[in-house]
Amino acid sequence: MFDAHLRPLIDRPLNGIARTLSGTGITPNMITGIGFFFGLLAACALALKLDHIALGLILGSRFMDGLDGAVARHAAPRSRHPGAKTQESDLGAYYDIVSDFLFYAGVILGFAIGRPEHALMAAFLIFCFVGTGSSFLAYAIIAAKQNRNHEKQGKKGFYYLTGITEGSETIFVLCLICLFPHWFAQIAGIFGALCLMTTFGRVLQARRDFG
């Protein structure tokens, strides 16, 4: 919901860092991998109830998640991509989306391991993540087939369908869980319900656009 509004604020500093990194040999996929590794460490920290360490790792992971795309747009093309003007690639977009969804579910899994009394609500929240993720990706597949384009959230490697719960809201909720772990059940219940509303809205949007 807030991604489109936050994008202009985030892009400027990320683009500045990306220009600095251009020519250093650091590739977008390297940054994606580092961000994913931070996410795995965050899940491990939550499993050990190191909540504030997990918070820092989550923020670091999401910073890398934004930076990889900026570097891809500013870096000189590699020789194995003849004719390309940047290092943006379909493979990079694939790595990015896979690592994102594994990160979201992994953080909640780590929390459940550390606090098994919340395992049921953690499972519910992961179920809701599956709904938003599948409705998002399924729409993107059909949109690509129909040559639709959407860059409201910034230039993307796939069609980006909006909703109540997007990346910004999910990151905010993960941070809340780290700061207020004793409120996990309430946070998971509210955000899970919003995720289900987002999924339902996307299904209706697909029915209107593809039916």
| Active site members | 100
Pair of tokens at residue 11: 């892009």
Could you tell me if 126 and 112 are in contact, meaning their C-beta atoms sit under 8 angstroms apart?
Answer: no
As a whole number of angstroms, the distance between CA 141 and CA 68 comes to 22
- Provide the phi-psi class of 77: left if phi over 0, else alpha when psi is between -120 and 50, else beta: beta
- Report the C-alpha gap between 13 and 8 in whole angstroms: 10
Which residues are within 8 A (CB) of 180 and not within 5 positions of it... i.e. 6 or more apart?
A: 187
Cβ neighbours of residue 158 under 8 Å, at least 6 residues apart?
Answer: 93, 97, 140, 144
